[in-house]
Amino acid sequence: MGAYATAKELGREAVLEKIKSAGLMTYGLRREDFCEALKQAEEAAPVDAGLNNADTDGALLELLRENPGRIFEGIRIAGMLTGTEALSLYLPEKETALAEELGGTAETYGIEIINDIIDVRKSERHFLLHIVTAAELSDILEGTSEEGVYIKAEDKPLEKVRSDTKVSSLISLEGARAVSMGYHFFTPEEAADKTAADAVNAVIKVIREDQCIVRETLDKLSAFRRASCGKCVFCREGLIQLEYMQKEITAARGKAEYPGLTQEIGEAMGISTLCSVGQESAKAALDATAKFAGEYEAHIKKNKCPAGVCTSFSHIYVDPQACTGCGDCMDVCPADCIEGRPKYIHMIDEFDCTKCGKCIEACEEDAIVKTSGKLPKLPNILTKAGRFRKH
Ligand code: SF4
Ligand code: SF4
Ligand code: SF4
């Protein structure tokens, strides 16, 4: 017998008793007693299931892919508890293939699949159900429920671990610059003290020494901007401004006021927006500018990307003493920005160079150098190989 059939046979009160004794908490950003949350819901409130709107990683969708019936049964149980047949499952906009794949099965459960974020204003009177809570409801009725939270640590598969599992036992902090967990960035020292329960979207990623914290912040903000529905001014405009400033900083055009402005806008977004996209999206930027201020300072004031990732701070040049004029670099350059003739020292036009590094790989003389320091004296006209003098 499925979990929903068991629930129907037991009846609403007995099901609530079971849930209460299992101590079910709602999953996601607002962790509260499930039965209390249910009491606050209006009678016959439609059930809107999904991830947090802010969950742009979507790691928890793996639960749905693995066992859709478990989630669908849980949604039906929630519907039985609120007293409604109006059941919806919201999937991120880009997950149209998943929606199509599950559409037929969902229909047999009376569940409508919608590819969109949950419109919190429209759903004010709806009962919001995280898909993990739906899975837990199913498990409780099946008698297979276990304490724990789902974690996707680095490239490992999604797994359920005890909530008090130390993050340091899930990932290696060696060579870590920062740790991205939930919607936050932590220093490695902070992360070592955190537990699995702190990763509300399941994802734990280590930002290593060769990764740039400003670039990582930019990537997160770009994902949030794409997810934003644009109805709240602070979410829409705030994300555009935050993304713009991080982009300028990584492109060596950062201004001294950008970290402060990032803080101001980020704090305002947290209190002036309707759903988790606006409320959570600035957290990484707030953390990055506050906890990794030195990295921002290096980009803005010292013209340097400490991780060597932001190519605008690096130069690529041909070492005039080492170049033999073979022309191999010219042949592979996709930007067509290397000038030269056979047996002449080749020259890179940095204006068009994308710093792809293909010429470095092609040069057998190791004559092409990438540096974040100053450029040495270089020829400014085509010069025969071996004839260039530094002075
Ligand atoms: S916070 Fe952003 S995504 Fe959420 S309702 Fe407002 S504009 Fe839309
Ligand atoms: S830089 Fe290297 S690949 Fe290019 S012409 Fe000189 S020796 Fe050849
Ligand atoms: S780094 Fe790429 S774009 Fe720049 S000169 Fe070399 S091959 Fe061309």
pLDDT digits (tens, 9 = 90+) for 275-293: 889 999 999 999 999 999 9
Q: Is residue 254 in contact with ligand 2, taking CB distance under 6 Å?
A: no
Helix axes 233-250, 213-227, angle to 10 degrees: 150
SS3 89: strand
pLDDT of residue 271: 86
- Of all ligands present, the nearest one to the C-alpha of 320 is 2
Residue closest via CA to ligand 1's atom 1 equals 278
pLDDT reported for residue 371: 87
Tell me the per-residue pLDDT of 4-31, one tens digit each, with 9 for 90 and over: 999 999 999 999 999 999 999 999 777 8
CA distance 180 to 190: 11
Q: What's the mean pLDDT in 323-348?
A: 97
Strands 203-208 and 149-153: parallel
State the alpha helices, DSSP H only, in 122-212: 131-142, 188-193
Ligand closest to the CA atom of residue 363: 2
The mean pLDDT of 339-364, rounded to a whole number, is 94
SS3 363: coil
Residues 30 and 130: their CA atoms lie apart, in Å, by 10
CA 106 to CA 40: how far, in whole Å?
Answer: 27
Going from the C-alpha of 168 to that of each of 57, 164, 220, the distances in angstroms are: 21, 11, 23
326 close to ligand 2 (CB < 6 Angstrom): yes
- State both tokens at 31: 């962790």
Distance 364 CA to ligand 3 centre (A): 15
List C-alpha distances in Å: 36 to 115, 134, 166, 305: 29, 16, 29, 49
- Fill in the amino acid letter for 361: E
pLDDT band at 359 (very low <50, low <70, confident <90, very high): very high
Phi (first) and psi of residue 216, to 5 degrees:
-65, -40
CA distance 299 to 194: 29
Token pair for residue 190? 């902070």
Q: Is the CB of 178 under 6 A from ligand 2?
A: no
Task: Tell me the C-alpha distance between 176 and 163, whole Å.
Answer: 23
Question: pTM for this one?
Answer: 0.82
Residue 370: what are its φ and ψ, rounded to 5°?
A: -110, 130
Q: Which domains does the chain have, with CATH numbers?
A: 3-142 (no CATH), 147-209 (3.10.20), 210-310 (1.20.1440.230), 314-371 (3.30.70.20)
Task: Give 353's Cβ-side CA count (13 Å radius).
Answer: 24
Tokens at 253, concatenated: 């055009």
**Which protein residue's CA is at the shortest distance from atom 8 of ligand 3?**
333
Cα-based torsion angle of the residue sequence 331, 335, 337, 340 in order, rounded to the nearest 10 degrees: 10
Best residue among 315, 331, 348 to mutate for probing ligand 3's pocket (most ligand atoms within 8 Å of CB) is: 348
Q: How many residues does the chain have?
A: 391
* Local confidence band at 391 (pLDDT 50, 70, 90 cut-offs): low
Name the H helices within 301-382. 328-332, 358-362
